[in-house]
């Protein structure tokens, strides 16, 4: 059984994979139904499954979230609604 930190890591890895497999509009256009979407997620390119890539992307995302949270706490009136 995973602890709470393990669940967070797995969730962050899933977000990275979704972003890179289905993140662009043209990638989503290739998947008009749930069947095509699931097929695309079943066949994730090997480059995205490498440990180095996943760690780098998860850390990049965590850094961005920490920076955004810090910025919101310092100057909450500057952050636009589109960033929340």
The set of long-range contacts for 40-43, using a CB threshold of 8 Å and a minimum separation of 24, is: 41/17
> Which pLDDT score, from 0 to 100, does residue 1 have?
56
pLDDT tens-place string over residues 26-78: 888 888 899 998 999 899 999 999 988 988 888 887 777 776 677 677 766 65
pTM above threshold 0.85: no
Residue 31, C-beta contacts closer than 8 angstroms, at least 6 positions apart? 22, 37, 40
Question: What is residue 31's predicted lDDT score, i.e. its pLDDT?
Answer: 87
Residue 79 has pLDDT above 70, yes or no: no
Q: Which long-range contacts (CB under 8 A, 24 or more apart) does 51-56 make?
A: 54/13, 54/16
């Amino acid at each position: 059984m995973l602890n709470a930190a393990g669940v967070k890591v797995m969730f962050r890895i899933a977000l990275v994979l979704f972003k890179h497999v289905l993140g662009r509009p043209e990638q989503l256009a290739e998947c008009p139904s749930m069947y095509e979407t699931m097929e695309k997620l079943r066949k994730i390119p090997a480059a995205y499954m490498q440990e180095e890539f996943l760690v780098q992307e998860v850390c990049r995302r965590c850094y961005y979230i920490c920076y955004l949270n810090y910025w919101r706490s310092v100057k909450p009136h500057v952050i636009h609604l589109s960033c929340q």
